Each structure stands twice: as C-alpha cells, then as structure tokens.
Amino acid sequence: MMVLAVQEAAAQERTPSAHAPEGIMEFFKPGITYDFFKYRRPFIFTSFSLCLLSLVSLFWPGPRFGIDFKGGTEVELAFKGNVSSAQLRETVMQLGFSHPEVIGLQDKANHYILRLAEISSLPVQRVEHARRVLEGELGADKLLEFKASPGGDKLAIQLTEAGDAGKIEAALVRAGLEVREVAAFGRAEDFRFQARLVGIGDKVVQGLKQKLGDKAPDKPLRSEWVGPKAGQQLKQAAIDSILATIVFIVGYVAFRFDLRFAPGAVVVLAHDALITLGIYVLLQKEVTLGTIAAVLTVIGFSICDTIVVYDRIRDNMARMRNASLAHVINTSTSQTLGRTVITSSVAVISVLGFFVWGTPLLRDIVFALCCGIAVGAYSSIFVAGPFTEWMDRRFFRKARAPRSGRGSQTARTTHVEPGSVPLP
C-alpha cells in the first residue's frame, strides 16, 4: 500500500539524475520526483492518531507482560526418552498452562527448562491454620518463625530449640498441606527447617507422566519461583536504554548534519517504538525481554534508514541552493525511495522463516521486527522529512533570516512554499 500511495503521489516532475544501467530492476523510475508534501497532512494525521492510540493502549488495556516482568515458575526437567521442545510445549498447554516457554539445554539431550506464568499460590488462611496446628504439636513457645515463600511452594520454619523434621511434616499434613519433604536448613544451631510443598513443578510432572508415560521424569530437578522484582529492574533498564539511545543519536545527527535534523530523528524514533509496542498491546501479545530487544533493533534499523535520507537531503541542499527545503526533501526522498523499500523488504524476508517454522517465542520476536521495520520505512518517507521542514519553517528559518538589507530581500525571493517547483 505504501508503494501504491507513492506511485499515486501528485506532481511528478523530471529532475536531472543518472539513470540506472540497463538490466537492473527498478521499482521506481529514476529521475522522477514525487510530491510527498502534497499528502503530508493525512500522513501526519495518521501517524499522530496511531501514536495516540498506542499511548492510550499502554494504560488500557495495558501490556500483557511475560514471566520476565511479572514473575512465575521455572521448572527444570530431565526426560528419560526423546521429547522435542514442540512436543513438550504442546503437552504442557494441554495440561492447562497458558503460553509456556521451553528452553532446551544444548549440552544435555532431552533436558529442558520450563517457564510458566502460574505460581503455587498459598492463601493466608491456610498458612495461619498450618501455624496453629504446628504450635499445637510443638508448643507455641517453641515456634519462632513460620513464613511462606512468595511463590507459595516453600515454608520457612525456625524453632527455639532442636526439633524433629518428621513431627513437623506430620503436623503440616494434618493441616491439609501437600508436603514433599521437610529438611533442616542452614546452621544446626539456628534450628531452621524448610518444608517443600507440592507445587506447580510437581503438578507438571504428574501431568507429563499421564501424557508421555515412561518418557516423563520422575520428579522436577528444580522448581523455583521467579519474582517480578528483577522484571521491574529490567523494565527500568529497557527504558534507560531507549532514552540513552535517543540522546546519543540526537547528538550524532546534530553534529553530523545540522541541528535542524535532530528533532526529526527524535520524532521518528519515538514514532516507531511507540507504534510497534501499541500493535503488540492491542493484539494482547506477551511482552517479554525478546520484545524489548526487537524494539531496540527496530530503533537502530529505522534511524539508519532515516540518516540515509538526511544525508541525501544535505547533499542536495548544497546543489539546489535556490530551491525550497520542501522541494529538496521531495527530491531526496524520491532518490532514496527504492533503497528504503528494497532494504526494508529484504530485512522482512530474511526473518520470515523464523515466523513460519520458529517457536512461539521466536514468532513473537519476528512479528515485532516485521511491524517495526514496516513502520520505520513509513516514517523515513512520510514523517522524517515533513517534520524536519515544519521545524525549519517554524523555528530555524526565523532565526537565520536577516533583519534588513539585501540579504533579507534575497531570503524573501528564494522562499518557495511546500510542494511547489523550485525557482529558476
């Protein structure tokens, strides 16, 4: 659709340029200048609407964060027979667990780490009931600490004197808890015990035994709760990374080209990242660390394409001194149009294989990349140039215009409105 919109752009005028050698396929005929500024208002309105919709979607309905950000359960499993990651993922989903993440260990065959969004929740009432039963068994003065882990699959118990793990386990079973084992924990003089309860990992193993038979493991090698605290730190780190990237890119653009181009680079970066995240949120896809990595990749790809357009604008500004900036941007964008479309298309094609044959996690990352690359190509053509021209006309041109004398007359004479032909 973007190509059709460009082909239908009005005011196609011939400009002197070298034609490509015969035999080279051209999507856009060389020497033609498309009047992008004629349609700048509908395109800017579309971008503004999409950015506003994406910004609202971040608050409602809000992102659906994965286990990296909101916490969950991580289970390590070693299978007795050959089980593929796709088979394991499908089987776990049949057991009622949504969006499991399966990570295969390369150095160990049939050895997987399973990450689930569910946790073994333990209601406060059951914890208090278990405390009262244990106090009745051991004596209230002997129980110093009784605390459940945030994941709900462990109990931390500390006594004032030596105790028996068997008695503690029996009391917890009478309280209605499913106990795997009770063992001493830490130094002997601290009188600490840890009660491991039947949690998500055990339920997964029980279901796998029913579905896979002898291939299933006897018990999980490791079952741990993954807290959201690290996820909050990762969120902040992602935000800091994006902000730092924008700052350095703005500095580079301002130093390499002109201060007039820096605001356009910021708008393009924010535009691409915000719309890509908005698509993810509106489709309620799971936002993971892979998604953040894809967004950062999109930012780098988009600014690279935008800098190519800016570089051509800078070169043409030196050649077309009597033309308006709008006409220079039209000419420069038209000259780099084929490069933008072909580069973006090849980048999308190169990752489509992962989208077709990859795992769900890879498909989500590729989906973010494809959306971001498409939005980045759109912004390089229809957003970066018009916004730069508006900033120049609104702020920078007034600062450069001479107040009186011959220079002022020259500035008024050479000014051409956006979309018009250059002065002879």
Secondary structure element (H or E) that encloses residue 222, with its range: strand 222-226
Nearest to 2 by CA among 338, 278, 279: 338
| pLDDT tens-place string over residues 309-361 | 888 998 898 888 888 888 999 999 999 998 889 999 999 998 888 888 877 77
Residue 403 lies in a domain: yes
Give the end of a domain, one of 178, 198, 218.
Answer: 198
Does residue 79 sit in the same domain as residue 110? yes
Buried-state track 333-371, b at ≥16 Cβ within 10 A, e below 16:
bbbbbbebbebbeebbeebeeebeeebbbeebbbbbbbb
Q: Print the domain residue range for 219.
A: 72-120+201-226
Does residue 191 sit in the same domain as residue 336? no
Number of structural domains (the chain) is 3
Nearest to 261 by CA among 274, 270, 271, 251: 251
Question: Look-up: residue for tokens 């007795």?
Answer: 80
Residue 421 lies in a domain: no
Burial class of residue 116, CB neighbours in 10 A (0-12, 13-18, 19+)? buried
Give the count of alpha carbons within 13 A of 154, CB side only: 15
Does residue 45 sit in the same domain as residue 94? no
Question: What's the token pair of residue 147?
Answer: 């605390």
| pLDDT tens-place string over residues 256-269 | 777 778 788 888 88
Q: What is the CATH number of the domain that holds 244?
A: 1.20.1640.10
Distance CA 227, CA 232 (A): 10
- Among the residues of 283-359, which ranges form H helices? 289-319, 325-335, 337-357
Secondary structure element (H or E) that encloses residue 197, with its range: strand 192-197
Does residue 331 sit in the same domain as residue 348? yes
Residue 420 lies in a domain: no
Does residue 104 sit in the same domain as residue 253? no
Question: Look-up: residue for tokens 């140039």?
Answer: 385
| pLDDT tens-place string over residues 3-62 | 434 444 433 443 444 444 444 456 677 778 888 888 888 988 999 999 999 999 989 888
- Among the residues of 33-164, which ranges form H helices? 40-57, 67-70, 85-94, 124-138
| Cβ count near 247 (within 10 Å) | 11
Residue 33 lies in a domain: yes
Q: What is the CATH number of the domain that holds 94?
A: 3.30.70.3220
Does residue 265 sit in the same domain as residue 398? yes
Residue 86 lies in a domain: yes
Does residue 406 sit in the same domain as residue 324? yes
| pLDDT tens-place string over residues 55-87 | 999 898 888 887 777 778 889 999 998 998 889
User: DSSP 3-state assignment of 207?
Assistant: helix
The DSSP string of 130-167 is HHHHHHHHH-GGGEEEEEE-TTSSEEEEEESS---HHH
Does residue 134 sit in the same domain as residue 269? no
User: DSSP 3-state assignment of 72?
Assistant: strand
Burial class of residue 413, CB neighbours in 10 A (0-12, 13-18, 19+)? exposed
Residue 423 lies in a domain: no
| pLDDT tens-place string over residues 231-257 | 677 667 767 877 787 778 777 777 777
168 versus 393: which is more confidently predicted? 168
Does residue 345 sit in the same domain as residue 369? yes
Does residue 25 sit in the same domain as residue 162? no
Residue 281 lies in a domain: yes
- Judged against a pLDDT cut of 90, whether residue 303 lies above it is answered with no
**Cβ proximity of 31 and 19 under 8 Å:** yes
Does residue 150 sit in the same domain as residue 133? yes
Residue 424 lies in a domain: no
**Cβ proximity of 183 and 162 under 8 Å:** no
Does residue 307 sit in the same domain as residue 403? yes
Instruction: Report yes or no on whether pTM surpasses 0.75.
Output: no
Crossing angle of helices 360-382/337-357, nearest 10°? Answer: 170
Distance CA 390, CA 394 (A): 6
